[in-house]
Amino acid sequence: MTDATTGMKGGGYYDAHDEYQRDVAASGAGLVTACVDAVPLPGDDATFVIADYGASTGANSIASATTAARAVRARGATQPIAVLHNDLPTNDWNALFHNLAAATDSYLTLDGGAALPLVSAISFFEPAAPRGSVHLGLSSSAAHWLRHQPDVVVPEGFYFSEATGAARAALQHAADTDWRAFLAARAADLAPGGRLLVQMVGTESGPDGEHVTARRLLQAMAAVAHDMVDAGALDAGAVDRYVLAVYARTPAEARAPLDESPLREQFDVVECRTDPVANPYFTTWQHDHDAQAYARAYAAFVRGFTESSLRTNLFEPGALGASADERLDEFFTRLTARFAADPERDRFEDWTLTVVLSRRPAG
């Protein structure tokens, strides 16, 4: 089985094109402070531990951890703090340390002494911190990634929402199993009374049907891949077998395992809801009507988080007549042209799912 992703596009690319993820994280900043305020401080001779799961190359992770560290120091001016950035071993860790060294306003520069930076290079589906050590767990735009690349055939598209029958059931099952594993691992990591704030792409049920984050985008990506099949540049079978290994849960799906043993005894649910997050690229286009600039920014954002998945699971097995990387470049050139041709049709829509949990003392 292959991993769902080996990480975001490295070399500074992800951080340069992550305006959307930054807005999602910023939408949770108030919750970060509220979570810190709800956690008992461990005392001046012990360390308050902040962990961020799925930290990537760090720009947003450092910002969220700094918000949290500030809230801790507002309560205890000299409270020792450690910040643990978690991601996969294949993450571009050099970029994270570069960002940390370059940040002029970070948890390293706070009054009351620098917070200790730590990393945890292990899948977040496993315990990722010393047992019972984490006072505040954060995770933004990451816990929607499945653990493994699903082995399903989805001729209808590139996303779980297009899958039908057994393929849809398999994707739902994988998402449920993975979410339970993520939560069980956090139950191991968190200290009694600790809080966990997870923000991920979600699905909202409205009177007019289901709103699935990123659905229009994945429909556009599938259409471009089919154009490349028609042009003889991509294998049709590889396109049928590709899905992006991301699942946008509903609040009910996120909640279900927390109403069952053993997670019911381990966590109290503080929040579980979806909220729309505005699309910064589309908002800019509505003001300046510069379709080319919109398309370039939108495609770069998409490339930042999908490139590793597309290379491993679509272009390496499916590229025809040129290398996987050349076909990947062609794919994004075509996607950019499609976005520019009709900025409204394929716009990214986001209903962020927010889950806040409190770790019970026992269980």
Ligand X SMILES: C[S@@+](CC[C@H](N)C(=O)[O-])C[C@H]1O[C@@H](n2cnc3c(N)ncnc32)[C@H](O)[C@@H]1O
Task: Spell out the alpha helix ranges (H) of the chain.
Answer: 13-16, 19-27, 29-38, 59-75, 93-102, 165-189, 215-230, 236-241, 251-255, 263-266, 280-288, 291-310, 316-318, 324-341
Contact with ligand X (CB under 6 A) among 145, 158, 159, 294:
145
Radius of gyration of the chain (CA): 20
CA-wise closest residue to 158 among 349, 313, 355, 318? 313
Q: In whole angstroms, what is the distance from residue 120 CA to residue 128 CA?
A: 6
Q: What residues numbered 336-355 form the site for ligand X, per CB under 6 A?
A: none
Q: Which CB, 125 or 315, lies closer to ligand X?
A: 125
Q: Which CB, 200 or 212, lies closer to ligand X?
A: 200
CA-wise closest residue to 190 among 129, 235, 260, 231? 129
Q: In whole angstroms, what is the distance from residue 65 CA to residue 296 CA?
A: 30
Contact with ligand X (CB under 6 A) among 27, 79, 91, 352:
91
Determine the interface stretch with ligand X among 17-25, 30-38, 157-165, 253-261 (rule: CB under 6 A). 17-25
Contact with ligand X (CB under 6 A) among 17, 25, 188, 340:
25
Does the protein bind ligand X through residue 100 (CB under 6 A)? no
Q: Which CB, 7 or 150, lies closer to ligand X?
A: 7
Chain-centroid distance of CA 72 in Å reads 25
Determine the interface stretch with ligand X among 96-104, 137-145, 159-167, 215-223 (rule: CB under 6 A). 137-145
Q: Which CB, 138 or 258, lies closer to ligand X?
A: 138
The site string for ligand X over 271-310 (x = CB under 6 A, - otherwise) reads ----------------------------------x-----
Determine the interface stretch with ligand X among 140-148, 233-241, 269-277, 279-287 (rule: CB under 6 A). 140-148
Contact with ligand X (CB under 6 A) among 28, 32, 87, 244:
87
Determine the interface stretch with ligand X among 38-46, 138-146, 284-292, 345-353 (rule: CB under 6 A). 138-146
Chain-centroid distance of CA 284 in Å reads 23
The size of the interface with ligand X (CB under 6 A), counted in residues, is 24
Residues in contact with 4: Cβ distance below 8 Å, sequence separation at least 6, in sequence order: 145, 146, 147, 148, 149, 245, 246, 309
Q: In whole angstroms, what is the distance from residue 20 CA to residue 281 CA?
A: 8
CA-wise closest residue to 120 among 96, 144, 100, 104? 96
How near is the Cβ of 186 to ligand X at its closest, in Å?
Answer: 12
The site string for ligand X over 46-85 (x = CB under 6 A, - otherwise) reads --------xxx---xx------------------------
- Residue pair 64/235 in contact by the 8 Å Cβ criterion: no
Q: What residues numbered 231-260 form the site for ligand X, per CB under 6 A?
A: none
CA-wise closest residue to 272 among 177, 357, 214, 192? 357
Q: Point out which residues bind ligand X (CB under 6 A).
A: 5, 7-8, 18, 21, 25, 54-56, 60-61, 86-88, 91, 123-125, 140-142, 145, 147, 305
